[in-house]
Amino acid sequence: MNKKYFTVVALILLLCIGFSTSGQTAAYPSRPLEIVAPANPGGGWDAMARTINRVLEIEKLYPQPMSVLNKPGGGGAVGMAYINMKKGDDNELVVFSPPLIINTINKTFSQSYTTLTPLAKLITDYQVFIVKADSPYKTFNDLMAAVKKNPGAVKFAGGSSPGSMDHLAFCKVAKLAGINAKDLSYVAFSGGGEALTTLLGGNVSFVSSGTGEVLSHIQAGTVRALAITSSVRSGGPLKDVPTLKEMGINTTYEVWRGVFGAPGMSKEAQAFWATTIKKMVGTKTWKESLEKLQWVDAYDDATGFAKFLKDEEKSYSELMTDLGFAK
């Protein structure tokens, strides 16, 4: 091969590079996808991120490589800061749930939830209030009677900080039952596992938790669920757990989870995800995943999700202001 051959090849390569950088960019998506779970592996955010990743891969709905990135810390603050650093990057997604709103209101996050690009509400989970299998509280009404008599003596635990999800779920119930939520004795842990260990050790009377985190313990019979915060009874392993409404407390508490794009996500990427997520939630793989994890399908598109988030902000603001957690 002579110099003339190499010169021709070099010219062709230069022409190709020039063409690709002259405004003719590849259609979205053309790069690997990163799905951020703003918590350690094993929790609800991680499970949601990995479920999305798995279904997209199995159903071949995203034509590029994908990965889940765990960004734990600060009740989601580290993950929130990370995704905000990715402003304008169409290849970043993040999953969140009520702490996104809660931590905006209490200023745990330095950014507002409104910086993110809502793509879809996906599932909902509910809170359960559980006791040890041998607890003297046989029903939720038994428990509430004890709390009313001496709110500070009936300690409860959760896997979130004071003023966050596990705490607020029972505060909402207590308020409606005529109990001053400020008198409650709440023991905070960094995860649901620690709260369960404390319950099983007899150091607290009950635990407030999302159903997914304690389902295996309910099935094993080490704990009993006294009430669930859904509007109607769940099926499967939770079919015998009464709702709060059955107990005479007319309220629900939803532990939703949704997916967001980075701030400033392009319209092209938003359109892609609108179509792709709708396809994803209709697949057999997605539906089987929800059944396995006992998640309730709550799909709503970006427009509906954005409105839902505004309603959540209003509801949480009122509750947290009453309890002194709003800033």
Q: The domain spanning residue 201 has which CATH number?
A: 3.40.190.10
Final residue in a domain of this structure, among 247, 270, 288? 247
SS3 139: coil
- For 40, the token pair is 């350690």
Say if residue 13's pLDDT is above 50: no
Domain presence at residue 23: no
Whether 272 contacts 256, CB under 8 Å: no
Q: What is the pLDDT of residue 192?
A: 78
| CA–CA distance, 39 with 77 (Å, rounded to integer) | 9
Question: Comparing 29-33, 86-90, 216-220, 278-282, which segment has the lowest mean pLDDT?
Answer: 216-220
Number of Cα atoms under 13 Å in the Cβ half of residue 303 = 1
Query: pLDDT digits over 116-154, tens only?
Result: 999 999 999 899 999 999 999 999 999 999 999 999 999
The count of structural domains within the chain is 2
Domain presence at residue 15: no
135/70 same-domain check: no
CA distances from 200 to 60, 127, 133, 246 (A): 43, 19, 9, 27
Mean pLDDT score, 154-182: 91
Write down the residue that tokens 């600060």 correspond to.
Answer: 74
143/181 same-domain check: yes
Query: pLDDT digits over 194-250, tens only?
Result: 889 999 999 999 999 988 788 889 999 999 999 999 999 988 888 999 999 998 899
Query: pLDDT digits over 69-115, tens only?
Result: 999 988 899 999 999 999 999 999 999 999 999 999 999 999 999 99
Say if residue 287's pLDDT is above 90: yes
236/287 same-domain check: no
Q: What is the pLDDT of residue 44?
A: 82
206/149 same-domain check: yes
Residue 37's contacts (CB-CB under 8 Å, 6 or more residues apart) are 43, 45, 46, 48, 49, 50, 68, 69, 70, 71, 79, 94, 95
Domain presence at residue 19: no
- The parent domain of residue 214 ranges over 126-247
Final residue in a domain of this structure, among 196, 212, 247? 247
Domain presence at residue 13: no
Say if residue 3's pLDDT is above 90: no
Final residue in a domain of this structure, among 215, 247, 279? 247
Mean pLDDT score, 267-284: 98
151/216 same-domain check: yes
Say if residue 11's pLDDT is above 80: no
CA distances from 311 to 68, 184, 315, 323 (A): 29, 26, 6, 19
Q: Which of 204, 258, 213, 256 is nearest to 238 (CA)?
A: 213
Say if residue 161's pLDDT is above 50: yes
Say if residue 54's pLDDT is above 70: yes
pLDDT band at 25 (very low <50, low <70, confident <90, very high): low
Domain presence at residue 138: yes
- For 169, the token pair is 């779920």
Q: What is the pLDDT of residue 19?
A: 41
CATH number for position 316:
3.40.190.150
What's the residue count for the chain?
Answer: 327
Q: What is the pLDDT of residue 322?
A: 86
pLDDT averaged over every residue in the chain: 90
Q: Which of 100, 123, 99 is nearest to 212 (CA)?
A: 123
Model's pTM, two decimal places?
Answer: 0.82
Domain presence at residue 81: yes
Whether 159 contacts 130, CB under 8 Å: no
